[in-house]
Structure 1
């Protein structure tokens, strides 16, 4: 176990993402206290790469006629992942801060990526309490990156254009990026002078995460690959590669 001022980390930790889901029903409690809102990382996904430390907060809001005295907030996920955060309360909202260092807190395991849950115990000033498991779901994801290269450049109108690329994601076992295989990725095109990309076709990565496909060159514009993401990996889109069509 590794202790921080903001959290106690057990069997690995995570970078996380928040999903807007109605508050769960209380598993147990006493009195008229009720949990009304749970927010993870401001409602955004938390994505962890191979080296940078991530910091995020989890806030719970409750109501009681006497006021809120305090709360305990913990996070549970796959691969025996667990976080217990220290909280500070202001009015009816209590907030826990979590800090994740991938090379220290992720237990050299990719198994903890995926869907996580917030468990919250909230105390009222008059002794009422509420304990809610799975009060909010969120995702903890491995950072991803996508590349694209179109050629030849320039190309004659009507000739074949080849677009290659690679989809990679962070590994917490060796803290390097590796190809993400067997994933559908959209090939998209934006005509010169426009700001809108349209999908031309969907290409699947090979076992090494590589992409390769061909199209007919017609007009000047930008080509890119766009990956929609999975439960363990966020969306990733390459920068557009401009091709001059003669």
Structure 2
């Protein structure tokens, strides 16, 4: 292992955004809860069962927005029309679509980000600096369509040689996590084989992507006390903060 806590064979590091680089995961979870609870309360009335943290971790975290809508609603036995990207976010329950519900969540998360700002994990930024100083290439891989705005807000755009986010995924027709395609695309863009790249993720879907993509090393970042689940989904190692890896942890 190197002093960065990675195998000597690793040439590139692929970082998730929400929950790994920035503290926006909690903002996303709050926006999802507000979105789904309002929909379910209108739809189910007295039988309403709220969206909770376990739902977020299992069905939504790390997935592209529309996939999160479909996957969570399927867990409740609900299917909605797909709709189109411009569908209104405020349609009633009998008119709402997958895309419309996703648009409602995105409007909420943007409002929360603008109101509360974006905060980065200092340990991650220091670790990325160390990775780049050691000559390794870096990419940010996120399902968020707001990735670039968030990176600019924390002045971190220049820390990455490659960005594969929700916008790029749509342009290239790449399926999101738990599929490995966005991570594989980032490795290709960096000119390295998956076996020579390390994945850094906090989401279970991201662990699945790292494992199925046969990456050289998968680091689980445990922000919410799910270390065992991260390992079960494919993490080679689990840390609470990337600063732990600076000394070869």
- TM-score over 0.5 for the alignment? no
TM-score tier by shorter-chain length is under 0.3
Which protein has the larger Cα radius of gyration, Structure 1 or Structure 2?
1
Choose between structure 1 and 2: higher strand proportion: 1
TM score, norm. by length of structure 1: 0.22
The structure richer in helix per residue is: 2
Taking structure 2 as the reference length, what is the TM-score of the superposition? 0.22
